[in-house]
Amino acid sequence: MYFSNKFSRLFGILANYKFPKSVQIFINKFYVRLFKIDLSEFDNVKTYDSLNALFTRSLRIPRKIDSKDYNLVSPTDSLIIESGRVEDNKALQIKGKSYDVATLLGLNLKNAQNVTNINNVDSKDVANLNDYSYINLYLSPKDYHHYHAPCDVEILESRYFSGRLLPVNFPSLRKNDSLYNVNERVVLKMRLTHNNSIAFYVAVGALNVGKMRFLFDEKIQSNASLGDFVRVYESPFKLKAGDEIGTFEMGSTIVLIAKANFTKLANDVVKMGEEIGTLS
């Protein structure tokens, strides 16, 4: 196991530890000040009994979702790192550095466990990748860490790829080639209800992200040394725009790959539920 993975696992244990209340309140307040967290939509800082409870805080009042029949809403509170069209199977992780989209999605996956009827689907998807667009959404330590459906979807399968847990901030994106492909990730293959197209929703792990949790399938375990796998769902999971998919324990990145026109650009800041593009 990589050092970054071991460190993240140990940090997760510490973050889940419940200190005496006065000590925990001090830790929580320090964290809020350090990262300039706006708690106006959340419970009082004193109510969280561990640092991880503060990391994974839920919204006190559900947000209004700006959903229309043919649009996509932001799945997260995030900074947009890059967005654009896939060209020659490449997407930008940051200006000057690209990553291979087929590798990110595991469309050329070999030697994975529990693979069922995947090859024909893969060849079809790979042939169409240049018709897709991408958007990279970075969640910083100050952000709300739950991730949601970008529109009405059916989740057809999940793919887990073990890997490193390098930071996904700007310095690390500039330093490390194909960072999203190197790091641990979970790829959800989705069918978008409104135009019946296939899209991919990628949750990328990062340093200190001890877990990525998925409400629809608790068997998906990250940073767990279980090996790569593909799980095909005979009965797809149906979600509405804005429905919660899962949670990062601390910050990380969501990458959306879809047949869409993304209207948000690099360095834009978005809130979960606001429109970020329209379907092609």
Catalytic residue (one of 67, 83, 158, 252): 252
What CA–CA distance (Å, rounded) separates 4 from 172? 13
* CB 243 within 8 Å of CB 145: no
State the catalytic residue, choosing from 8, 146, 148, 158.
148
Give CA–CA dist 156/26, Å, rounded.
44
8-state DSSP, 85:
E
Q: Which residue has tokens 């500039």?
A: 174
From the CB of residue 23, how many other CB atoms can be counted at a distance below 10 Å?
Answer: 10
**Catalytic annotation on 148?**
yes
Looking at the DSSP assignment, which residues form a beta bridge with residue 94?
97
> φ, ψ for residue 129 (rounded to 5)?
-60, -30
Q: Point out the catalytic residue in the list 77, 83, 152, 222.
A: 77
Answer yes or no: 77 catalytic: yes
Active site residues: 77, 148, 252
